[in-house]
Structure 1
Amino acid sequence: MPDTALRVGFVLCAEFALMSLTGFIEALRHAADLGDRGRKIYCSWTTMSPQKKTVKSSCGIIINPDTDLIDADNFDCIVIIGPLLSGIDDVPQIVHGYLRRAHQRGKLVAGLCTGSFVLADAGLMKGRIACLHPYHLQDYKELHPKLRFTLKHDYLEERNIATVPGGLSVVSFATNLISRHCGRSRAAKSVFQMTMSETGLDSDFNAIVALDKQHIGDHRIRKATIIMEREMFSPGTVASVAERLGLSERQMERLFQKTLSMTPKAYWTAIRIKYGKWCLLNTQKTITEIALLTGFADCAHFIKQFRKVYGETPGHMRRLHAQKSDLALTRLESNSDRF
């Protein structure tokens, strides 16, 4: 059994946003185990409050925390989920001190939803930019007029302090954290189990998880790649993408060669094949279904391009992957009495 790669401690404020807690924990739960058994193998999570006091969420659901505010060395990341802003002044000073000590020990400290306000009150946002939800912008400006902020990101992490606006951004941040500590396959499994249905396989969220993002300097090519990734599920044309960017097809060809050392058509094919591989190893779709899903005219064309990239057919890769997964599961099950 692997050592737990990611340990997260949640500090709950009175009237905290329940979705921030459940969204984060569900991401951890799906990444933590094989299948859907919820065992804390790869990830673990602990809820905390001062003196282990019962905490009511903003929607009225009551949580009984696992423990008091225990030593931050038990965790890789400390998460503070803030209260309704009407109760921001009621956050105990012991919580502020706990967050400061955790940060001093080199732990990643993350503020979810109004947790960014708690971090600011604890003095941890000086010289940093808070990532806020627009709904909280005016309050943050009034309460912390000298601190900087942004509305342009799902989350922002600077020098071991992260701020996350809440909502679905919490899942995005949790997925990134899982990827860093447990690997991309754990993160992909988490998102797959949380968001992907048989009829919703082509959602933007799932596509983004399956693809490695690369740094692209030219903003026009960056926009082109985003369009291509969003439309990989339909047989679009390079000319139509170029037209949307105000470029000629020849201009876009030259920019792609200069920036990525490949043609637009080759890039589009590459991301379709890459996402096809992810579907192959993480879904029950047939190879024909995957070929059509990723914009190929037929299964034969998909198999030919797949073999060019990976040196084997999709069927062969899937069989080997299944054999390895079965072996790993057998070994894990044989030791299940240990956890």
Structure 2
Amino acid sequence: MTNHLIHSVESEARNPKRLRFGIVLLPNFTLTAFSGFVDLLRLASDEGDMSRPVRCSWTIVGENLVPVRASCGIQITPWSTFGEAEEFDYVVIVGGLLHSGPSASGATLAFIRAMADTPATLVGVCTGAFALVRAGVMSGYRVCVSWFHYWDFVERFPHVDEHEIVADRLFVIDRRRITCSGGRASIDVAAAILLRHVEATIVRKALRILLVDDAQKGNAPQPHPPGLEPATHPKVRRAILLMEQHIGQPLSLPDLASRLEVSVRQLERLFTTETGRSPGAYARQIRLRMASWLLTSSDRTVADIASSCGFSDASHLGREFRKEFGESPNEYRTTRLPDAHDLSPVLPEVH
């Protein structure tokens, strides 16, 4: 028996079953979600820095071999078509932008339905979960979506039982369906999948190489915006999201109420009940939190930060900032950023 053949036999003995992943990229998919998932597969699949598909393999499949454009503009060409696809243990659908260009094609939905009839587990990453629902393969399963896309999901799929929609967790594993909120959580869900089949030490090592301390469990909460708790009334949740999306040009209370299809009085009553504050006070705190973050994470001037956060000028921000934090913006920056005096340009003190 040749050395090559001996090596192959020994390798198969050590790795009796290689996990097979088929990855479908939807138009305008999120590159972070895709790369995080596949990079953990790559690192956990082999020893050293070889990146060979030893413990698991991955194939990018598509309707045809036309490159698929990510939301950032990068294009990736499928390796094989749906008709050429082999058998998979996991079929991963990676989504992204919802309001830019076409969504999953009829052929893609048909492929998803065909895979649902096999022993494969279907995985929806980011808005890939939307495609699973559109394909009709999520009936009776819980589905995880990002808090940011919660209302998009509800509007597109009003027939889905609200108790089956999970928007406050990183991912959900429900038998042969796995859905993930996207972003960094794609690494976490890849780790959870691998831990079913691969030694924990191998997965932990792959996570460390990616500079991830440890994988989050599926019941770990999504990083909601500051002050936005999962249990908040749906109308209040949506109002807070609108406030965050219009920090630079704050919506008036009548505009906010109109978008939510409630009266101003009803909105004020809901906010007081849920948060103990009026909508105006809550919006002001969101803008001040954003300003405080910019002060310690950038070298932008106070005047620039004031404009970005919806304040009329630096003096206006300074007055509101003192009420909230008990110090001026520059004092806040200096006490939390020791090297702030080295920033250029020099920032004028605001009183």
Distance 1:29-1:70 versus aligned 2 partners, 3 A rule: farther
8 Å CA contact 1:17, 1:83 repeated in 2: yes
The AA in structure 2 aligned to 1:193 is I
Alignment of 1:297-312 (within 5 A): none
Contact 1:21-1:81 within 8 A present in 2 as well: yes
- Aligned partner of 1:74 among 71, 78, 87: 87
Asked whether the equivalents of residues 17 and 58 of structure 1 are also in contact (C-alpha less than 8 Å), the reply is: yes
Task: Tell me the CA shift for residue 70 of structure 1.
Answer: 4.6
Aligned: 1:185 with 2:198 = no
Q: 1:61 to 1:88 in 2, by over 3 A?
A: closer
What residue is the counterpart of 1:172 in the other structure? 188
Equivalent AA in structure 1 for residue 52 of structure 2:
R
Q: Residue 163 of structure 1: SS of its match in structure 2?
A: strand
- For residues 145 and 74 of structure 2, the distance between their equivalents in structure 1, rounded to whole angstroms, comes to 25
Give, in whole Å, the separation in 1 of the partners of 2:36 and 2:79: 18
Does 1:134 pair with 2:150? no
Amino acid at match of 2:66: K
Unpaired stretches in structure 2, ≥5 consecutive residues: 1-10, 218-351
Q: Work out whether residues 20 and 88 of structure 2, in 8 Å CA contact, stay in contact via their aligned partners in 1.
A: yes
Q: Distance in 2 between the 1:54 and 1:64 partners? A: 4
Q: After the TM superposition, which residues 255-274 of structure 1 pair with which residues of structure 2 at under 5 Å, given as runs?
A: none
User: Deviation at 1:88?
Assistant: 7.5
The one-character-per-residue Cα deviations of 1:165-211 (angstroms, maximum 9, x if unpaired) are 10111111100111112221221121121115xxxxxx5x37x79xx
What is residue 101 of structure 1 aligned with on the other side?
A: 114
* Matched residue SS, 2:170: coil
Q: How does 1:147-162 map to 2 (within 5 A)?
A: 147=160, 148-162=164-178
Write the letter of the residue equivalent to 1:13: L
Q: Does the C-alpha gap of structure 1 residues 14 and 89 become closer, same or farther in structure 2, counting only changes over 3 Å?
A: closer
Deviation of 1:89 after TM superposition, in Å, equals 5.5
Per-residue displacement from partner, 1:38-85 (whole Å, max 9, x unpaired)? 011111111111112211101000111211125665211000112421
Q: 1:14–1:55: 8 Å Cα contact kept in structure 2?
A: yes
Aligned residues: 201
| d(CA) in 2 for partners of 1:120, 1:43 | 27
Residue range with higher mean Cα deviation, 78-87 or 104-113: 78-87
Q: Which amino acid aligns with 2:208?
A: F
Q: Which of 38, 62, 73 lines up with 1:25 in the alignment?
A: 38
Look up the SS of the partner of 1:7 in the other structure: strand
Kept in 1: contact 2:89–2:120 (CA 8 A): yes
Q: Deviations over 1:2-51 (max 9, x none)?
A: 24532111011111111111001110011011112101111111111111
Distance in 2 (alpha carbons) for counterparts of 1:172 and 1:71: 30
- 1:53 matches 2:66: yes
Residues 3, 88 of structure 1: CA spacing in aligned structure 2 closer, same or farther, 3 A cutoff? farther
Identity of aligned residues (%): 29
- The amino acid that maps onto 2:172 is L
Match of 1:7 in 2: 20
Q: Match for 1:86 among 99, 116, 129? A: 99
Q: Distance in 2 between matches of 1:38 and 1:82?
A: 25
Higher helix share: 1
- The answer to whether the Cα contact below 8 Å between 2:91 and 2:121 also exists between their aligned partners in 1 is yes
What is the RMSD of the two structures over their aligned residues, measured on CA atoms?
1.9
Q: Scaled by the length of structure 2, what TM-score is found?
A: 0.54
Pair 1:70–1:187, CA change in 2 (3 A): farther
Contact 2:27 2:102 in 1 (8 A): no
- Could you tell me how far apart the structure 1 residues matched to 2:85 and 2:116 are? 9
Q: Deviations over 1:113-134 (max 9, x none)?
A: 0001101100112222211111
